């Protein structure tokens, strides 16, 4: 709960964001789902908050046969659908859409990029833009190579002048395995320098992720105990209540390990475990997170079955309603062994975290949508106030909630009122929504502004991508070498295979469950 004093001081939490110089933002794959659901709605929101210049210009580039007007109408419908419909500002949209344009072109045709170059130069002249160009590649991986090459052939990969900039934003996946990631990075560096490349992970744009650094490094009460001397184990969970949502073609070739662990969750681990940076700048912060990835203890291929558990949701009833299993989803192979759930245990071999287990868990069709980091602190040396409760209940926890209700929760023991010394765990809970007059920026909006300002702090560097893949690759190798490694079926609406608790060190520990199972059937099976 925030006090009146806290409410009066809430303006201190609202930082005045710098407005970047105007640019032409070219969105490759402009007719796709990411543009419709995320990019344009978030850009319109930051525009409405006056965080973009009036002449900021969007140029859609895609194969779909549209013109400026039809593209604008489509984007308007999307903004209304995916934002606050009741407060949609039609007059402001009318101003915003005057700077939205579209080209129906082919990614493989060099002549399309000649026309693109001419269109960009024309817009820069009309809108008085000083040569700043941002290329957002919201396209499948197999389209990256021709786009990168053709941009370079037409001279669109270099700065127009010393006072202008040219940058590209790449969406995940950053490769399918270590070998493909190395090849992709080499391909990109043929045409763009590393300081031009912004690999985006929208998780890092969330306010609570960035607040991990502030929680740790701005508070003297946390950092002294943020180490192996006081921490029993660290748990990172990212649960989704939905299934694969008609993405069977993509997901069946990716799976939870590639889709979530290699990027999102390892990045959260990097922020949680990193050493204090020498200064709060992009290079220092990314250098420290890289050291974490380089310190991940390699998982031996023969140990994968003991430290990594995978599951796949099966048909079930959730709140009484029938729910399809993964193999029944569209474009999924009949006997697919692709994991929709993964839990794993690993260690970080450095001075701070030596011997402390880290646990990662993520899955589809779990009981709720939640992403959180849980720091489990060691218990007192002697349990003076004994109870019948599980020993894990006596542990202090710090929970950093990433989504959906962003905030921080501290769990500690208090005496229950009465004549006896009965102890109960209580919560000290902070929600960002409690800050009066403070709106959390959307992740994509925040990251796009950062890119335009040239701030790469929250973007993933080439060496970090490769370090994360080096850690993940032995798991992929083990699944390929030993195809009989089990894939456990779990009912949709449950918290995954019951045996996932076996990963947590000792019988007295288990995953934190923010809510109960919703499945009518809590059993699991081997597929």
Which helix (H) or strand (E) segment holds residue 415: the answer is: strand 407-415
CA distance 480 to 260: 19
196: phi then psi, degrees, rounded to nearest 5: -90, -15
Q: CB under 8 Å to 195, separation ≥6 — which residues?
A: 456
Asked if the bond preceding 404 is cis, omega within 30° of 0, the reply is yes
Q: Length of the chain in residues, anyone?
A: 527
Domains of the chain by residue range: 4-171, 204-442+460-526
What topology does CATH give the domain 4-171?
Answer: Rossmann fold (3.40.50)
pLDDT over 70 (residue 232): yes
Q: Label residue 489 by pLDDT band (50, 70, 90).
A: very high
User: For 348, which DSSP code?
Assistant: B
308: phi then psi, degrees, rounded to nearest 5: -130, 125
| 175-194 per-position pLDDT tens digit | 999 999 999 999 999 999 99
- Please list the alpha-helical segments (H only) found in 89-167: 90-97, 110-127, 144-153
Catalytic residue among 90, 176, 202, 264: 264
How much is the pLDDT for 522? 57
Q: Exposure of 419 by Cβ count < 10 A (0-12 exposed, 13-18 middle, 19+ buried)?
A: exposed
pLDDT over 80 (residue 417): no
How much is the pLDDT for 283? 92
What topology does CATH give the domain 204-442+460-526?
Answer: Dihydrodipicolinate Reductase; domain 2 (3.30.360)
Instruction: Provide the terminal-to-terminal Cα distance of the chain, rounded to the nearest Å.
Output: 47
**Whether residue 376 lies in the annotated active site:** no
**135: number of CA atoms within 13 Å, CB side?**
27
What DSSP assignment string belongs to 231-295? EEEEEEEEE-SS--TT-HHHHTTTHHIIIIIIIIIHHHHHHHHPPPPSSSSHHHHHHHHHHHHHH
Strand pairing partners for 22?
A: none
Which pair of structure tokens corresponds to residue 161? 């002048």
The 3-state DSSP class for residue 524 equals: coil
| 323-377 per-position pLDDT tens digit | 999 999 999 999 999 999 999 999 999 999 999 999 999 999 999 999 999 999 9
């Amino acid at each position: 709960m925030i006090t009146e004093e806290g409410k009066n001081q809430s303006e201190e939490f609202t930082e005045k964001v710098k407005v970047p110089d105007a640019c032409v933002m070219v969105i490759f794959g402009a007719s796709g789902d990411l543009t419709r659901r995320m990019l344009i709605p978030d850009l319109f929101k930051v525009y409405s908050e006056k965080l973009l210049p009036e002449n900021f210009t969007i140029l859609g580039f895609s194969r779909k046969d549209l013109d400026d007007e039809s593209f604008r109408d489509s984007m308007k419908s999307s903004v209304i659908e995916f934002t606050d419909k009741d407060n949609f500002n039609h007059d402001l949209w009318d101003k915003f859409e005057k700077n939205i344009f579209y080209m129906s072109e082919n990614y493989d045709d060099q002549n399309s990029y000649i026309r693109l170059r001419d269109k960009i130069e024309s817009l820069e002249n009309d809108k008085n833009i000083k040569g700043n160009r941002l290329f957002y590649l919201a396209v499948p991986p197999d389209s990256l190579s021709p786009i990168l090459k053709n941009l370079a052939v037409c001279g669109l990969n270099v700065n127009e002048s010393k006072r202008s900039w040219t940058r590209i934003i790449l969406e995940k996946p950053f490769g399918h395995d270590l070998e493909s990631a190395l090849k992709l990075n080499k391909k990109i560096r043929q045409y763009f320098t590393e300081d031009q490349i912004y690999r985006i992970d929208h998780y890092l744009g969330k306010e609570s992720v960035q607040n991990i650094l502030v929680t740790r490094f701005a508070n003297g009460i946390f950092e002294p105990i943020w180490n192996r001397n006081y921490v029993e184990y660290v748990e990172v969970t990212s649960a989704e209540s939905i299934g694969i949502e008609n993405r069977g073609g993509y997901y069946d070739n990716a799976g939870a390990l590639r889709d979530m662990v290699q990027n999102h969750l390892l990045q959260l681990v990097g922020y949680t475990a990193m050493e204090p940076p020498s200064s709060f700048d992009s290079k220092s912060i990314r250098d420290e997170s890289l050291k974490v990835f380089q310190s991940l203890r390699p998982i031996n291929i023969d140990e994968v079955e003991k430290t990594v558990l995978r599951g796949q949701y099966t048909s079930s009833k959730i709140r009484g309603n029938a729910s399809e299993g993964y193999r029944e989803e569209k474009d999924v192979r009949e006997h697919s062994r692709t994991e929709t759930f993964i839990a794993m245990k690993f260690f970080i071999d450095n001075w701070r975290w030596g011997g402390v287990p880290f646990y990662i868990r993520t899955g589809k069709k779990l009981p709720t949508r939640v992403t959180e980091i849980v720091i489990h602190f060691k218990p007192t040396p002697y349990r003076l106030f004994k109870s019948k409760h599980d020993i894990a209940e006596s542990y202090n926890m710090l929970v950093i909630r990433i989504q959906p209700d962003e905030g921080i929760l501290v769990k500690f023991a208090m005496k229950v009122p009465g004549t006896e010394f009965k102890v109960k765990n209580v919560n000290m809970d902070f929600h960002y929504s409690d800050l009066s007059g403070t709106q959390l920026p959307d992740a994509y909006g925040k990251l796009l502004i950062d890119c335009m300002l040239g701030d790469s702090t929250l973007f993933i560097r080439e060496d970090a991508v490769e370090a994360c893949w080096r850690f993940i690759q032995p798991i992929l190798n083990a699944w390929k070498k030993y195809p009989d490694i089990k894939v456990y079926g779990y009912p949709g609406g449950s918290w995954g295979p019951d045996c996932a608790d076996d990963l947590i060190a000792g019988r007295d520990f288990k995953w934190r469950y923010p809510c109960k199972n919703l499945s009518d059937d809590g059993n699991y099976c081997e597929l």
